């Protein structure tokens, strides 16, 4: 696998013993440490919040606590030049489609970045905005696979 877009919740769940996704999130992070897959984010990402221009980067900064597994993974990837930067600009028809089916503006950005990524894969445990029926529609209409950590672990 060349690259993947990681929804912040997928990384956060690795440190949450109350989450049903903890085990698969930990496995995903461990596999990412051990392989060469890139994490794709929108352009402008830096750990300095004052200069960061990436929406996904801002999500990482806000929600991944220093020392957490997800934070350590993103630092490791950055230090090893394994963060892929893509534009979040997509065709208007695609943007309009995403805006119609996804209410949360934050989640729209993850889909836009996934649309411009090589593998068109988004790992997310968010079933509020990406219900099973929407995941199917997104795959059919946009060619983007929205999968859980458990599902993507088999490909890594």
Q: Which residues of the chain have pLDDT under 50?
A: none
What are residue 84's phi and psi, to 5 degrees? -100, 130
Confidence (pLDDT) at 64 = 96
Q: What is the pLDDT of residue 42?
A: 98
Q: Which residues contact 90 (CB under 8 A, 6 or more apart)?
A: 98, 112, 115, 116
**Model pLDDT, residue 76:** 97
Domains belonging to the chain, first-starting first, are 3-153 (3.40.50)
Q: Mind giving me the DSSP string for 92-108?
A: HHHHHHHHHH---HHHH
């Amino acid at each position: 696998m060349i690259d993947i877009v990681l929804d912040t919740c997928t990384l956060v769940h690795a440190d949450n013993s109350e989450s049903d996704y903890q085990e698969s999130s930990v496995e995903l992070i461990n596999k990412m440490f051990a392989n060469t897959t890139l994490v794709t984010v929108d352009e402008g990402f830096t750990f300095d919040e004052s200069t960061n221009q990436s929406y996904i980067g801002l999500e990482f900064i806000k929600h991944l606590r220093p020392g957490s597994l997800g934070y350590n993974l993103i630092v490791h990837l950055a230090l090893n030049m394994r963060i892929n930067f893509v534009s979040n600009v997509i065709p208007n028809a695609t943007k309009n489609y995403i805006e119609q089916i996804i209410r949360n503006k934050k989640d729209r950005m993850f889909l836009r970045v996934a649309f411009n990524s090589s593998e068109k894969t988004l790992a997310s445990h968010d079933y509020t905005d990406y219900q099973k029926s929407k995941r199917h529609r997104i795959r059919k209409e946009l060619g983007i696979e929205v999968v859980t950590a458990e599902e993507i672990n088999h490909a890594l």
